Amino acid sequence: MPRNGQLPPPLSGSSVQLLLQFGLDHGLSGDRCLAGTGLDWQDLADPAFVVRLDQELQLIRNLAQALGDIPGAGIQAGLRYRLASRSVWGFALLSCATLRDAIGMAFRYQSLWNPLTEFHVEENGDLLATTIDDSALPEDLRAFIVDRDLGISVSFMRDLIGTTLPAVSVALRRPQPADTRPYEDLFGMTPVFGATENRVVRNSAGFLDRPLPGANTEVVRQCEAQCQALLARWPVQEGLASQLRNRMIVRPGVLPDMETLAEELHMSLRTLRRRLADEGTSFRQLQEEVREALAEEMLAEGLKLEHVADTLGYGEVSNFIRAYRRWKGVTPHRDRGRRSEGA
């Protein structure tokens, strides 16, 4: 998600590769899975390739639309994620001394592995409650992504301790699906659907301070240093402006208007305008920052002007060219040429 008007940290291609394989295994073609993402097979074959947040979101949208009738499709996808495939962050967790340490590590650096939703954890005696904030997601993707995150959480827990903590209660914001068996298989119970928040409460008695089999203090130290270095490149900006950027970045092409965002944040338009003014910005300025940052990134990747204009919601290429000239003082074509000469 955006940091100070910049793009979010680029994502490892491993998640997209996993999601693509999930689609292929369910009978989808690669072209259908990757439609509208700007990605191709050559990109994903490069182990050093990184993916933008909007590209992964488009792939998820393609999967959700094509496989939405499959019970628990998001859960199935999430269960395929493994800590060992999550690069330095995953190795850091696997090397922690205890489950408590691993959970703390996971939440400190969650933006490196899951910038789509925000996890919160609360310990109360032997109970461990986890909430998943999906409010910044496009509405049509919330159910699939939260289901995926539920599957990921269980898979990662199994990687750490060989099992999962027993569920005490599960509440989800999504409507009740026709088939609830995937949730019953995952949690051992039927969740409460249509709840006000996504919340899973587990019994953690005897688990949190149990030594982990892969504990290695030196590996943790080295991996955490690398995690800190990555986060330092994208410092987090707090405040309303940052929240609004986060909500815009996940919906390129359909940037939400001010009324929609004010409603999502449960505040009046007047309050939203005033708080942005207090932070020295405006809604229009935030829209421009998000579009400019995305445009610069997509053009640097060689995407066609038509694709960039459509993704950013300009419709006509000419409208995008005028906006780009306003930002940079030159046309996209000339700016590309200048970058090529400097390379």
Query: How far are the Cα atoms of 50, 151, 187 from residue 142, in angstroms, in the given order?
Result: 23, 14, 19
Q: What is the pLDDT of residue 343?
A: 52
What is the residue-averaged pLDDT of the chain? 86
Quick check: pTM over 0.75? no
The CATH architecture that domain 11-232 belongs to is Alpha-Beta Complex (3.90)
Amino acid identity, position 135: S
CA–CA dist 201, 193 (Å, integer): 15
Q: What is the pLDDT of residue 33?
A: 95
**Residue 237: pLDDT over 80:** no
Q: How confident is the model at residue 4 (pLDDT cuts 50, 70, 90)?
A: very low
CATH of domain 240-342: 1.10.10.60
**Residue 5: pLDDT over 90:** no
Ranges of each domain in the chain = 11-232, 240-342
Those residues with Cβ within 8 angstroms of residue 3's Cβ, 6 or more apart along the chain or in another chain: 9, 234, 235, 236, 237, 242
Lowest mean pLDDT among 166-180, 296-310, 328-342: 328-342
Residue 129 phi/psi, 5-degree rounding, is -105, 130
Taking only the tens place, the pLDDT of each residue in 310-334 is 888 887 899 999 999 999 888 988 8
Size of the chain, expressed as the number of residues it contains: 343
Higher pLDDT pick, 168 / 300? 168
Residue 190 phi/psi, 5-degree rounding, is -90, 125
Shortest CA distance to 298 belongs to which of 244, 247, 335, 341?
335
Q: What is the pLDDT of residue 74?
A: 97
Taking only the tens place, the pLDDT of each residue in 172-185 is 999 999 999 999 99
Count other Cβ atoms within 10 Å, centred on residue 30: 15
